[in-house]
Amino acid sequence: MHRSVIRRTLFRHPLAAVGGALFLAGGALFVVLLMIEFTGGGENPYRSLVTFVIAPFIITVGFGLFLISIWLQIRAARKRGEEVRFNLSIDPSDSGYMKNLRRFLGLTAALVVIVIYSGTKAYEATDSVTFCGETCHVVMEPQSVTYHNSPHARVPCVECHIGPGASFWVKAKFDGVRQLFATSLNSFSRPIETPVHNLRPAQETCESCHWPRQFYGEKMVAHTYYRTDEENSPWTINLLVKIGGGNPRTGKLEGIHWHMLGENRVEYVATDEKRQYIPWVRQITASGDTIIYTNSDLEQPDFEDPELEIRKFDCMDCHNRPSHLFTPPATAINLALSARRISPDLPYIRQAGLDLLNAEYADREIAHEAIGSGLHIYYGEDYPETAVSHKAQIDEATQTLTAIYDENFFPEMNTDYRVRENNLSHFVNDGCFRCHDGVMSDAEGNTISTDCSTCHLIVAQGPSENLDDLESSLSGLDFQHPEDIDEAWKEMKCTECHDSESGY
Give backbone dihedrals phi and psi of 232, rounded to 5 degrees, phi first: 50, 50
Question: What residues have CB less than 8 Å from 288, skipping those under 6 apart?
Answer: none
Between CA 84 and CA 72 the distance in angstroms is 13
Between CA 131 and CA 123 the distance in angstroms is 10
Residues 269, 316, 356, 460: which binds ligand HEC (CB under 6 A)? 316
Supply the minimum distance, in Å, between the C-beta of residue 61 and ligand HEC.
31
Q: Which of residues 9-28 bind ligand HEC (CB under 6 A)?
A: none
> Which range binds ligand HEC by CB under 6 A, 24-32, 43-51, 298-306, 476-484?
476-484
Q: Which of residues 326-355 bind ligand HEC (CB under 6 A)?
A: 330
Question: What residues have CB less than 8 Å from 339, skipping those under 6 apart?
Answer: none
Total Cβ atoms within 10 A of residue 281? 20
The nearer residue to ligand HEC, 390 or 426, going by C-beta atoms, is 426
Supply the minimum distance, in Å, between the C-beta of residue 467 and ligand HEC.
16
Give which of 72, 57, 54, 56 is closest to 17, Cα–Cα.
72
| Number of residues near ligand HEC (by CB under 6 A) | 92
Residue 268 within binding range of ligand HEC, rule CB under 6 A: yes
Q: Which of residues 217-256 bind ligand HEC (CB under 6 A)?
A: 219, 221, 223, 225, 227-228, 235, 237, 239, 241-243, 254-256
> Which range binds ligand HEC by CB under 6 A, 34-42, 104-112, 369-377, 485-493?
485-493
Residue 483 within binding range of ligand HEC, rule CB under 6 A: yes
Supply the minimum distance, in Å, between the C-beta of residue 420 and ligand HEC.
6
Give which of 320, 316, 318 is closest to 202, Cα–Cα.
316
Residues 12, 47, 200, 324: which binds ligand HEC (CB under 6 A)? 324
Between CA 67 and CA 413 the distance in angstroms is 44
CA 291 to chain centroid, in Å, comes to 34
Per-residue contact string for residues 44-83; x = within reach of ligand HEC by CB under 6 A: ----------------------------------------
Question: What residues have CB less than 8 Å from 344, skipping those under 6 apart?
Answer: 226, 231, 232, 234, 337
Total Cβ atoms within 10 A of residue 445? 6
Q: Which of residues 296-315 bind ligand HEC (CB under 6 A)?
A: 313-315
Supply the minimum distance, in Å, between the C-beta of residue 300 and ligand HEC.
15
- Report which residue type is found at 262: G
Q: Which of residues 101-140 bind ligand HEC (CB under 6 A)?
A: 129, 132-133, 140
200 within 8 A of 163, measured Cβ to Cβ: yes
Supply the minimum distance, in Å, between the C-beta of residue 387 and ligand HEC.
23
> Which range binds ligand HEC by CB under 6 A, 18-26, 104-112, 181-189, 445-453?
445-453
Between CA 331 and CA 504 the distance in angstroms is 7
